[in-house]
Amino acid sequence: MRNILIAAAISLLLSMAGTPLAIRLFARRGYGQNIREEGPSGHYDKRGTPTMGGTVIVIASLIGYFTAHLSTALGGRVEPPTASALLVLFLMTGLGLVGFLDDFIKIYKQRSLGLRSGAKAAGQLIVGAIFAVLVVRFPNGYDITPAETRLSFLRDFGPSIGLLGFTIWVLFFIVGFSNAVNLTDGLDGLASGATCLVLAAYVLIGNWQLRNSCTVFFGPNCYWVRDPLDLAVVAAAVLGACFGFLWWNAPPAKIFMGDTGSLALGGVIAGLAFTTRTQLLLVILGGLFAIITMSVIIQVGFFKMTRRRVFRMAPLQHHFELSGWAETTIVVRFWLIAALCVAAGLGLFYLEWMPKQ
């Protein structure tokens, strides 16, 4: 618990103090947001707002996590970083780097599109494939690896799907959620606020799995998770950094996270889902991301079949913008939807654990 608090506090302070510095630095260098011509007209006023703020989230998260572990060494008891946590941080940083390249190209070439779609997908697939191969290795003293080649909902279930099948599943999940957060990042504070709620859920899940670990208390409802406490520390570190960034990203935003932040945050919640053995539960916890992604799929699919649109514009938040809703109204109401999804996911997680009468 001490590490969780330290990681969250350090990353929060660094993010809150570091984001204004990033705003001034990026503004001085002209690292401003370009706006798509086909986007809502109300977004034109946002042109030039500093972007790539996700770099602050990633750096603050890493410093917060490693500082928490350093504090244990200074206290006389060494708690080295765990394989599960390092793999999740690798996934976050790797996808953040892909997003950074995308953002930088947008700024350098002064256009709303950065990396070509093929290059961007290739970067996501390479980082995701490395994660998929490594996450089923590194067994601890109880022979528990960070993840198993099985599907999971509230815990692992069913037979192994093999390393190849598991890798394909991991890639689908990682690309899907990193792009889902990216699609959600269309209004000030929307993606960062919703991600904070999901990360808070994973802090609770990691703590609960620690208290009911099969390595401590063996029973029908215990959890075979390799490093639940350290995964909660990772979630807390990213939560603190994301919350500190939200202070400056809330409407009206002084800075945008860019693809650097959205891909990194999508990666970290996907990584936490695999290492806590709650892959399919993330679809409920991150229900807002799933809803927004589905709105794009429905819009594109329906248009290709009928040449007509279901929504005024996709992703879904822009439909409500064009319907006359104020941006802050959309953001707050979507946060409420995200909170309901998190509450539903945590409720299922807890009810499944309860001993059956």
- Residues belonging to the binding site are 182, 259
Dist. CA 246–CA 200, nearest whole Å: 14
**CA gap 220, 113 in Å, rounded:** 51
- 120 within 8 A of 102, measured Cβ to Cβ: yes
Q: For residue 229, which of 215, 249, 210, 212 has the smallest C-alpha distance?
A: 210
Beta partners for 157?
A: 151
CA-CA distance, 300 to 303, in Å (whole number)? 5
Both tokens of 237, joined, read 């570190």
Sort 94 into a burial class: Cβ within 10 Å, 0-12 / 13-18 / 19+.
buried
DSSP notation for 185-231: TTSTTHHHHHHHHHHHHHHHHHHHHHHTBTTTS-STT-B--S-HHHH
Q: Which residues are annotated as a binding site for Mg(2+)?
A: 182, 259
**Reduced DSSP (H G I as helix, E B as strand, rest coil) percent helix, strand, coil of the chain, to 5:** 70, 0, 30
Rounded-to-integer distance, Cα 297 and Cα 17, Å:
38
Whether 327 contacts 187, CB under 8 Å: yes
3-state SS assignment for residue 279:
coil
The pair of three-digit structure tokens given for residue 155, joined into one six-digit string: 């815990």
